[in-house]
């Protein structure tokens, strides 16, 4: 079962990945290697053009600034039914 809030959050996170925070280095660790964070594309090899465009349109229209608003129903916050329907359909295709 899909929740529209989860689909919106996933789409916004997909088009604007967060930077990984560096873990503090343990001075007692034997290995002093620094591990570089790697971005993994969860839809690698799939056609995500319309998905990204729709997510970008939703982000620009409704979620300006830092991150998503908390403690609100995102589906009610996004007023454009066409964008929501397109986002859900494209997500189901992936």
pLDDT tens for 35-55 read 666 667 778 888 889 989 998
Per domain, the residue ranges of the chain are 1-15+48-94
Buried b (16+ CB within 10 A) or exposed e, 43-77: eeeeebeebeebbeebbeebbeeeebeeeeebeee
- Residues 8, 66: Cα–Cα separation, whole Å: 15
Task: Judge whether residue 31 has pLDDT over 70.
Answer: no
- 3-class secondary structure, 2: coil
Contacts for 51 with CB less than 8 Å, ≥ 6 apart? 11, 14, 43, 87, 90, 91, 93, 94
Mean pLDDT of the region 52-79: 75
pLDDT at site 62: 77
Global model pTM greater than 0.95: no
pLDDT at site 94: 80
């Amino acid at each position: 079962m899909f929740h529209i809030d989860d689909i919106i959050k996933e789409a916004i996170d997909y088009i604007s990945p967060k930077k990984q925070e560096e873990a503090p280095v343990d001075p007692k660790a034997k290995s002093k290697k620094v591990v570089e964070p790697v971005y993994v594309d969860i839809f690698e090899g799939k056609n995500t053009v319309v998905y990204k465009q729709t997510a970008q349109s939703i982000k620009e229209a409704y979620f300006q600034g830092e991150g998503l608003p908390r403690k609100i129903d995102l589906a009610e916050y996004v007023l454009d039914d066409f964008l929501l329907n397109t986002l859900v359909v494209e997500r189901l295709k992936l």
